Every structure is written in C-alpha cells, then in structure tokens.
Amino acid sequence: MRKVTLLAIIAALSLQAAAAREIRREAIPETFWGTWAPGTDACKEGETSTIVLSARAYVGPAGSCVVRYVTEIPGRASPIYSARLQCPGSGGQPQKQAFANLIIRPEGSGQISAGPTFESLVAHHRCAASAPAAKQ
C-alpha cells in the first residue's frame, strides 16, 4: 500500500512539474509577426499558401482567425509555440465558430515550421516585405 501511495505522489508531482514548464501567452510573439511563405514564389500577392501572423490574428489556409491564446513549451533548440485559433464557421455564419491549432517552431533566422500538427509542419520563410521594424 505504501508503494502505491508513494508512486501516486511522485506521479502527481511530476505532472505538476511538466505543467509548470508551459507558459500561456495572450498573443503570438512579435518575432513571428509578418507574412510567411513555404517557397520563394509564394510571397507574391494573392498567394493562398502564405500565412500572415500578428499579435492576435492569423490569416492563411484556415481562414481569418482570432488568436485566443498561445502556449509556449520548451523545445530542444528553442521554444515551440502552439496557438489556439477561433475561426469563422463554414457558410460564413457568425454563430458557428470553428477552432484550429497552429504550431510554430522556429528553425533559424527568418525561418519557421508551421502547421496544425507536428506531423504536418511545413517549412516557411519570412517574406521580405513583412520583416518587422527594428525597435528603437
């Protein structure tokens, strides 16, 4: 009985430690704001494969969505971000909302991998015209 109790306490403490590593944010970090494309030709105006990120908005293949929150979790090289998006439902009915996820994994200067699941991540690069202005 003592072993079961001890194992239950250890499991509960380890779950709390794992949850403590996650940081919940209200917005997408500024370093990811801008237009991202899977290829160099995709940066052209009107291309449907690009994604546009701002603090509280996403525009891309999933539609025009509002960012509800972003979870930051530790990764091997850098943090990985998971945005919870609220998007208009099918048929343009405002009362029908759909939710989607967007995983953002930094890959280096001006590059990210993004997608709804880890299995569907696609490499994107920042479109030149969308680079954020330097802070003063």
Read off the tokens for 35: 């237009």
Alpha helix (H) residue ranges in the chain: 2-20
pLDDT tens string 10-31? 555 555 455 558 999 999 999 9
pLDDT tens string 93-116? 656 788 999 999 999 888 999 999
Quote the pTM value.
Answer: 0.74
**CA nearest to 58, candidates 49, 67, 50:** 67
Bridge partners for 85 per DSSP: 67, 100
4: pLDDT strictly greater than 80: no
